Structure 1
Amino acid sequence: MGMISNMIAVVTRDTRLEGLKQRWGTSNQADFLLGAAVGHEVERRRKVRAKRGLAVSDQDIDAFAESAVALTDREAYEQEDTQYNQSLKQLFRELDLGIPVREVDRGFLANFDFGRCLAVVVIGQDGLVANAAKYVGDLPVIGVNPDPARYDGLLLPFQVREARAAVQRVLNQRARYQKITLAEVNTITGQRMLAFNDFFVGCRSHASARYTLDVNGNREAQSSSGVLISTGAGATGWMSSVFNMAAGVSRFVSGGDVQKLTLARDERKLMWAVREPFVSRHSSAENVIGILNDEDELVIGSQMPTQGVIFSDGVEDDFIEFNSGDIATFSVSQQQVRLAIG
């Protein structure tokens, strides 16, 4: 039996155009349906104007069409797809280092064995780094920006032409890293999940989530639209919307503002907040926001007979069922991400 060699994993994802092809079968069919969507939107706007007794000129029709094309964004889909695939081909050429390279689609991250990998290269948007980092353990992560003109790349410090040198530095143990704190949840049913940005705890539907929340010995029954538990990396994402809402309400009611809480990516802390808590005979809202320091725990007990879920980083398909009787404990994870930065 031959020796099993080490390898470099390259994490990829489908482009939006590839997603359309999977949905509609072929590129031509996708183009046809996008074009039909433009036609339907133009006709809808024409009818709205006609109902109001407003004349519709040829210039109006042209403006409707231009606006509808912008909504479908077909040309942008095609440009994005072309650029991504060109960058991916170039990346594989750059990584011709005499070590096997294995492509891993985002959809298979949870099932892929990273045990034989020397490094993990992620080429995509920032969110793909967040998706991949939870599954790679202590392996170094190299984020590559396939399209700097389109993506900010806060977690993608390298361009494609820089990937070869970045990987070589990692392999030669000369790379510089930024450590990023992860959040962790463990349930009494033995399930464990990590979050790069945040956890969401709540109901799969739009129904209110019912649960008990216990932090530092303070326990209360709550009903809300869910609980967010955020890392420093996620503090500027979903969690920031909570502060935006609070600030808007505060300005409207009192003219004052609300200062946002922030955490550095490497801080051994988490931030949590209850979304839209409801006060009733059976629920209160005394504890709605807080900080978890290293070794602190936030314990949530589900009171949802069905549809209760916990998912991380906005990936709703990768979830833990969280129904009545289950208890989840959230904490700072001992596992950290090592993101190569130089």
Structure 2
Amino acid sequence: MSGTRSSENKIILIQRKTRLEELVVRYNTIQQAQFYIERLGADFSDYISEDFYYRKAVETAVIELGAVGRVQLLERQHVPNFIFGEQDTVVVLGQDGLVANTLKYLHEQPLIGVNPDPQRWDGVLLPFTVKDLRHLVPEVFRGQRQVREVMLAKAQLNDGQSLYGVNDLFIGRKTHVSARYQLELNGVTEQQSSSGIIVSTGMGSTGWLKSVLAGAAGIVHSAAQLQKASGARTAPAAGRGGHPAGQPVTGADEVYTAVAERLPWDYPNLYFTVREPFPSRTTSADLVFGEIGSQAPLKITSQMPEDGVIFSDGVENDFLAFNSGVEATITLAEKRGRLVV
């Protein structure tokens, strides 16, 4: 029942360090952290306020969840190596990024996103507050809550390693040095040098992908205006790619509007973009944007002797090494995320 504690109902509560806690780790004491922040002219009281409300939210969540099941607190940094049980219910107390970075390590366990401080965070993926938990979680146990499915991206290496992405994958170099690799999609192969490749899911379509395409569209539009003003007869074409189903993209407007609107979280394909491709005698810049479907995976073979990486959702310290000879196959994941709404 909703007010009954059950030993069979295990709840994993994911928490994170606050900015204040991270500063104390770096500077040893609150006093030294305060001195550093205030010396830079920042408001240290905001760090204290954020920490206070987050700690209070954690305490309240533990009480509310403890009334309906067994609670295990888990720090964010331990999530990648934690083994979640098939029947676990996962509660994330934090910002949207923490929801995404937890979801990719689950195997379709339901995830509840909780906003610890609605006055501070908007929280697109955080529809609930800690006060909702006592009544909400028993409904999840009984399968009475609606769940939205989320398509994930997957990078599978030819050495057996793999990595999932909820919003996006990045394939490139750790540094600003150009990445070298071979790209293959729909039977078309190309040698490239670029700042890396971004692969986005439906959930991630309004994030990194949108910003890249907005910049590309703006550049092409401005270049066309300059050519028009100078009397040129044609505008430069956008890079050709595999959108859709291997067809070329011929204009910036088409590129941008392809994903300008938020795609559904269960959108059945992925989009990829190549950042700053550099054409030369040995490299091309034609296959720079496209759609990855279930029958059309993207294959990338590294030509980087060192510092090649694949990471997901902006978490650079959780990565796959992607150096010379390693091949990555980018596809839709075989599993889906499940967000309680």
Bigger Cα displacement from structure 2, 146-155 vs 307-316 = 146-155
Q: 1:331, CA displacement in angstroms?
A: 0.3
1:123 and 2:93 correspond = yes
Structure 1 residue 152: deviation in Å? 1.4
Give the paired residue count.
Answer: 305
Is residue 2:312 matched to residue 1:312? Answer: yes
What SS class does the counterpart of residue 206 from structure 2 fall into? coil
Deviations 1:233-277 (A, max 9, x none): 111111111112112212321249633332321111101000000
In terms of mean alpha carbon deviation, does 190-199 or 291-300 score higher? 291-300
Gap regions ≥5 residues in structure 2? 1-6, 226-250
Q: What are the residue-to-residue correspondences of 1:132-151 with 2, within 5 Å?
A: 132-151=102-121
Equivalent in 6, 14, 21 of residue 18 of structure 1: 21
- Contact 1:8–1:117 (CA<8 Å) still a contact in 2? no
1:23-38 equivalence runs, <5 A: 23-38=26-41
More helix by share: 1
Quick one: distance in 2 between partners of 1:257 and 1:148?
38
Matched letter for residue 283 of structure 2: S
Q: What is the one-letter code of the residue matched to 1:33?
A: Y
**Which residue is equivalent to 2:326?**
326
Runs ≥4 residues deviating over 6 A: none
- Does residue 301 (structure 1) correspond to residue 298 (structure 2)? The answer is no
Amino acid at match of 1:102: Q
One-letter identity of the residue aligned with 2:326? D
- Cα pair 2:167 2:312 within 8 Å, conserved: yes
Sequence identity percentage: 43
Report matched runs for 1:176-325 at 5 Å. 176-255=146-225, 258=253, 259-262=256-259, 263-325=263-325
Q: Aligned to 2:177, what secondary structure does the other structure show?
A: coil
Q: What TM-score comes out, normalization by structure 2 length?
A: 0.86
Contact 1:177/1:339 (<8 A) preserved? yes
Report the TM-score when normalising by structure 1. Answer: 0.86
Query: Cα distance 1:270–1:180, how it changes in 2: closer, same or farther (>3 A)?
Result: same
CA distance in 2, matches of 1:187, 1:165: 43
Matches of 2:19 and 2:265, distance apart in 1: 29
* Greater Rg by CA: 1
Q: Is the 8 A contact 1:240 1:260 kept in 2?
A: no
Over the aligned positions, Cα root-mean-square deviation in angstroms equals 1.5
Secondary structure of the corresponding residue to residue 204 of structure 2:
coil
Please say if residues 308 and 323 of structure 1, whose CA atoms lie closer than 8 Å, have aligned partners that are also in contact.
Answer: yes
CA 1:257–1:289 in structure 2 vs 1: closer, same or farther (change >3 Å)? closer
Q: Deviations over 1:132-183 (max 9, x none)?
A: 0011111000000111111111111111111222211110111101101000
- Which residue of structure 2 lines up, in the alignment, with residue 170 of structure 1? 140
5 Å matches for 1:100-115? 100-115=70-85
Aligned-residue offset at 1:96: 2.0
What CA distance in whole angstroms lies between the structure 1 residues aligned with 2:164 and 2:135? Answer: 30
1:292 and 1:216 map into 2 onto residues whose CA distance is 9
What is the one-letter code of the residue matched to 1:11? I
The verdict on how the C-alpha distance between 1:125 and 1:80 changes in structure 2, with shifts beyond 3 A counting, is same
